[in-house]
């Protein structure tokens, strides 16, 4: 049996950076990864998908050139092999960077294999037992496939497998109208495929307020994406050219099907029972406010603990654990203000409460909205879809949440994220003097238009 000061299981966005910090402190650390260093973000999430989004936007801009006085003769053609290769290059550069970084660390042992608990202090991998007083789980999540009629009889795609396509689908049917599905829907529509989105719920992106959901649907429909919401029955069957997707309201002849109905944690084959680690009914590892499990000496970070499921929240889990365990701090998950983005074009930047949540909280609130058509930068760029919205507490003057669906919304939202984390009141933020012409310059104006509801 090999002994270490700490064992990290999973090479995603939390564990490896915590392992590196522990090595810096002189500890001997084993990092166990089942497949690829970098986790979902590097290998099947943010990096390859946003690279594909960039290629799709380039095609969209090229087709729209005449509006800006740029005439490109002939048809805009998409070389999917080049598109795929570009995304793969971005992934491999990041993955190889991690491999090289860890290889140069004395005290770091990287082991590729499937780890399972033998007891609370021991894991086995590749037939070898490893032990440590501290074990950190950063095992991530994977796409979940719903039990729908005929789903096992077709060749479906997931968010992991679709990034490896090097041919253009004739017609892509996207099952699921949330964040992952919508990004791929717009992306492949811009590549030139016919696209249909099929969503069980009454709205797309159901986590958002209805006005945001409606505006997202308008953006996608304006690009020719066929949207079906409120679908109660879905069944699949093979046909001569792919798959027939039959719903209670439509029959879609698709060449490819992407199933994007959510993700589940990779916790079902870790031998958690042998360690006594508790999970919830969905398989997420139960943790306290400092990311410790119910078993002394075992922590869970990232997607597998159900607190965020984003790259940035996973990295923040690392920051919390490192601060508490290595720096003598006392940081908590509950102190985190959740923010995220939807990377359709224009993107949605979101932070804090939705309007619906704020109303349900019982607070006296104020709301302000502003269409992007009243933003100078948006007009100059010819990208006026969407709107900005902010919600504030009428009594404390603190900002409760915001949504910016529009050009550079994923960047602009950080002005509000920073203000909320600093505890800045909205009247104070109104007095900032932003740069013109930017989208961010409208934040003080947006705040100045707050009205009680």
Among all residues, which ones are annotated catalytic? 436
| CA dist., res. 368 & res. 390, Å (int) | 5
| CA dist., res. 19 & res. 6, Å (int) | 8
Length reported for the chain: 453
Q: DSSP secondary structure string, 207-233?
A: TS-HHHHHHHHHHHHHTT-EEE-S---
| CA dist., res. 192 & res. 3, Å (int) | 55
In the block, tokens 């690392």 appear at 318
Strand 451-452 and strand 365-371: pairing?
antiparallel
SS (H, E, C) 105-161: CCCEEEEECCCEEEECCEEEECCEEEECCEEEECCCEEECCCCCCCHHHCCCECCCC
In the block, tokens 């950076």 appear at 17
What is the DSSP code (8-state) at residue 67? G
| CA dist., res. 290 & res. 333, Å (int) | 6
């Amino acid at each position: 049996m090999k002994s270490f000061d700490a064992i990290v299981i999973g090479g995603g966005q939390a564990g490896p950076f915590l392992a590196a910090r522990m090595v810096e402190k002189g500890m001997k650390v084993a990092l166990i990864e089942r497949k690829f260093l970098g986790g979902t973000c590097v290998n099947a999430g943010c990096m390859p998908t946003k690279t594909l989004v960039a290629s799709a936007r380039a095609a969209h801009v090229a087709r729209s050139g005449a509006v800006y006085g740029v005439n490109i003769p002939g048809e805009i053609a998409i070389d999917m092999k080049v598109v795929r290769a570009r995304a793969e290059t971005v992934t491999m550069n990041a993955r190889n960077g991690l491999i090289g970084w860890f290889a140069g660390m004395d005290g770091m042992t990287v082991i590729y294999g499937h780890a399972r608990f033998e007891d609370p202090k021991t894991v086995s991998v590749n037939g070898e037992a490893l032990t440590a007083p501290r074990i950190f789980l950063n095992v991530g999540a994977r796409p979940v496939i719903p039990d729908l009629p005929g789903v096992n009889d077709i060749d479906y795609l997931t968010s992991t497998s679709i990034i490896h396509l090097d041919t253009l689908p004739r017609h892509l049917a996207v099952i699921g109208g949330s964040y992952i599905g919508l990004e791929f829907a717009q992306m492949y529509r811009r590549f030139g495929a016919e696209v249909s989105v099929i969503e069980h719920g009454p709205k797309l992106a159901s986590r958002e307020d209805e006005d945001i959901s409606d505006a997202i649907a308008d953006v996608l429909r304006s690009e020719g994406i066929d949207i079906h919401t409120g679908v109660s029955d879905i069944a699949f069957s093979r046909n001569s050219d792919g798959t027939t997707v039959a719903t209670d309201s439509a029959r879609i002849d698709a060449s490819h099907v992407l199933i994007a109905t959510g993700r589940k944690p990779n916790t079902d084959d870790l031998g958690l029972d042998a360690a006594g680690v508790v999970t919830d009914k969905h398989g997420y590892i139960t943790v306290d406010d400092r990311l410790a499990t119910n078993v002394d000496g075992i922590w869970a970070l990232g997607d597998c603990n159900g607190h965020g499921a984003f790259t940035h929240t996973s990295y923040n889990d690392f920051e919390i654990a490192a601060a508490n365990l290595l720096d003598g701090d006392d940081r908590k998950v509950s102190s985190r203000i959740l923010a995220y983005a939807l990377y359709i074009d224009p993107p949605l930047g979101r932070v804090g409460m939705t309007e619906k949540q704020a109303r349900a909280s019982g607070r006296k609130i104020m709301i302000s909205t502003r269409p992007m058509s009243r933003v100078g930068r948006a007009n100059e760029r010819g990208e006026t879809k969407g709107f900005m919205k902010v919600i504030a507490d009428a009594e404390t003057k603190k900002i409760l949440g915001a949504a910016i669906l529009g050009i550079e919304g994923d960047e602009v939202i950080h002005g509000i994220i920073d203000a909320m984390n600093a505890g800045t009141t909205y009247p104070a933020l109104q007095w900032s003097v932003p740069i013109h012409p930017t989208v961010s310059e409208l934040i003080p104006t947006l705040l100045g238009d707050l009205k009680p509801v």
